[in-house]
Chains A and B, each alone.
Chain A
């Protein structure tokens, strides 16, 4: 099997499906979206991540046509869509509140959009059955929305938005109420649908694992601004700011000052009593510039004996251990009082764990393990 790279954002020839140009949205004097410029390409699975209230839903609602930007333009396939009413857009949205019609059965809810298209009866039947099967709701087709559980309602909302097979599908936290197993299955279903139909997805999620699994690119938002847009791997391995590093996954941040000591390598002075840390960075830092070293816990090794030849090592005491089943996180207190997290896979039974509370241990990592950040 050959996997061709899907990276239209790196192709200067590629035309984006959606183009936000300096879009600002204000509610009164509150700025919900702040001068936002983004491109979303066809067949992308674009995940929006960000804290509550950062403007994710507002962004979606502008795409669906329920809000008009205060400033800026939004283009869909090269056409300005500001002012085009929602029913004239080839987009469907799954609402965060589901917005299921309480007076209609689940079957009729899913058929609602198809009926508006004037689709033939038997075709509607087939399509609704297909959607019910996909979301495993066949048994509940005749019930009203208030007669099913929260997770089931969420699946109905998903089925209803998928039914019309739109060009652009907006999913506002589509899987939040599902249990882990069902969520994973549905994620794969979504990716499958996406592959089969070529639909472009914009998905809001609070679950970064989900974003990592399904997304072609992840956009991290804060206060109505996009902090970084990149592939899941890139955003995890090379965040561009402490905010992004902290938002995606767990991270240790060590503050210090940089001084160049080689080609693209820097010595980070972080504490008067300790030797500086070594870090590689493609970004230039000047002598004495303030910097933050971000290291993922799984990139920090923990050992009882002093490791030989490691680029960075510090000694500390095990302060706490979080046992997560497959992995354990050790919270190691340094003499400075700072806490560094180190993660190891639990390849042995818990009883045979090498370290326990109050043990003195060595932490070490390579020069390329961390990312040096200016802000």
Chain B
């Protein structure tokens, strides 16, 4: 009895400690007012005045403010757009790589897998800085292209959205490749043979059999890229320019430049709500996949 209780209680406790409590704290801050104090918001809970007086000072002012200044919803929309486009780009790059890995001779596969994971062994920040070196006007890419005579003027890539896309695709590629690879690897090759036997060309067999059967992997990979890309902060601030508007950057500025913790918290709460939708979809997808395998 006790053991069963512990078994069920553990994940709930985890959720409570690492998600619900922080969420409640941030939510409370989002309902407060900014103040020149430490911490920089009002009201603070005071035992003497009691909980009623405390709650009566909380309000939704900051959420209303988010709707009034169009910076915020523009940042949300632009983040969604960037996350969506980079997810599609990552899929376009990742799928062929996963497919190639799954069709490679068995003895090569561990090595290929290693190569995919290898970049994680160096710091993420260093890798993004390296891209600055590659993409800048005097960077390696431009030098090589000019040396080859392909271009006369350096291409302006760094500090544009293109650099952000490149950064996101590069960073999150393994998260796309690995789930797709694991579904493709399990696919029975005789299914494609059966499709060809029944009149499909190689390509239509791929389209009618391989692609539908790798859908769970594609979905998992897309969510794993889309969800972190939406709130991405480091890549747009290092590779993006003044024109790159992403909610992660806005959030950072509210917290650290403006020191307006309540508005920053409100921004975070809304971001979370936007993310909950794809996360729930992702969960349902996972569940469906498991049911299908039984």
Residue ranges of A at the interface with B (Cβ–Cβ < 8 Å): 64-66, 85-87, 91-93, 95, 97, 99-103, 112-113, 116-117, 146, 160, 164
Q: Mark B209-228, 1 if CB is under 8 A from A, else 0.
A: 10011000000000000000
A99–B199 CB distance below 8 A: no
Known contacts A101-B209, A103-B212, A103-B213; A87 and B199 CB within 8 A of each other: yes
Tell me whether A113 and B198 are in contact (CB under 8 A).
yes
For the complex, give the distance between the alpha carbons of A65 and B200 in Å.
Answer: 13
Q: Does B138 contact A (CB under 8 A)?
A: no
What separation, in Å, do the CA atoms of A94 and B226 have in the docked complex?
42
Q: Is the CB of B191 within 8 A of A101?
A: yes
Nearest chain B residue, comparing its CB with the CB of A103: B212
Q: Output the nearest chain A residue to B209 by Cβ-Cβ distance.
A: A101
User: CB of B197 within 8 A of chain A?
Assistant: yes
In the assembled complex, B201 has its CB within 8 A of some CB on chain A: yes
Q: A99-B194, A102-B213, A103-B212 are in contact. Are A87 and B200 (CB under 8 A)?
A: yes
Of the residues B197, B201, B204, contact of A92 by C-beta under 8 Å: B197
Tell me the smallest distance from the CB of A284 to a CB of chain B, in Å.
48
Q: How far is the CB of A20 from chain B (nearest CB, A)?
A: 19
Nearest residue (CB) in A for B193 is: A66
How far is B190's CA from A146's CA once the two chains are assembled, in angstroms?
Answer: 16
Q: How far is the CA of A211 from the CA of B92 in the complex (A)?
A: 51
The residue of chain A having its C-beta at the shortest distance from the C-beta of B294 within the complex is: A146
Is A116 in contact with B198, judged by CB distance below 8 angstroms?
A: yes
User: Which B210-251 residues sit within 8 Å CB-CB of chain A?
Assistant: 212-213
Chain B residues whose CB sits within 8 angstroms of the CB of A87 once the complex forms:
196-201
27 pairs, A vs B, C-beta closer than 8 Å: A64-B193, A64-B197, A65-B196, A65-B197, A85-B196, A85-B201, A87-B196, A87-B201, A92-B197, A92-B198, A93-B194, A93-B197, A95-B190, A95-B194, A97-B190, A99-B188, A101-B209, A102-B213, A103-B212, A112-B198, A113-B198, A113-B199, A116-B198, A116-B199, A116-B200, A116-B204, A146-B292
B195 within 8 Å of A (CB atoms)? yes
Does A86 lie within 8 Å of B191, measured CB to CB? no
**Across-interface contacts of B196 in A (CB, < 8 A):** 65, 85-87
Hey, which chain A residues are within 8 Å of B213, CB to CB? 102-103
Lowest 8 CB-CB distances: which A-B pairs, in order? A113-B198, A116-B199, A99-B194, A99-B190, A86-B196, A103-B212, A87-B196, A87-B199
The answer to whether B193 touches A95 (Cβ under 8 A) is yes
The residue in chain B whose Cβ has the minimal distance to the Cβ of A157 is B194
A160 to chain B: closest residue by CB: B198
Report the minimum CB–CB distance from A150 to chain B (whole Å).
Answer: 16
With a cutoff of 8 Å between Cβ atoms, the chain B residues found around residue A85 in the complex are 196, 201-202
CB distance from A157 to the nearest CB of B (A): 9
How many Å lie between the Cα of A66 and that of B191 in the bound state? 12
In the bound complex, CA of A86 to CA of B200 (Å): 9
With A and B bound together, what is the CA distance between A142 and B201 in angstroms? 27
- Collect the chain B residues with CB atoms within 8 Å of residue A97's CB: 188, 190
Taking CB as reference atom, which chain A residue is nearest B201?
A87
In the bound complex, how far is the Cα of B194 from the Cα of A64, in angstroms? Answer: 10
Contacts of B174-206 to chain A: CB distance below 8 A = 188, 190-191, 193-202, 204
B-chain residues with CB within 8 Å of residue A113 when the two chains form the complex? 198-199
Chain A residue numbers with a CB within 8 Å of B198 are 87, 92, 112-113, 116, 160, 164
Extra inter-chain contacts (18) besides given A86-B196, A93-B197, CB under 8 Å: A64-B197, A85-B196, A85-B201, A86-B197, A87-B196, A87-B201, A92-B198, A97-B188, A99-B190, A99-B193, A101-B209, A102-B191, A102-B213, A103-B213, A116-B198, A116-B204, A117-B199, A160-B198
Which residues 137-192 of B have a CB within 8 angstroms of A?
188, 190-191
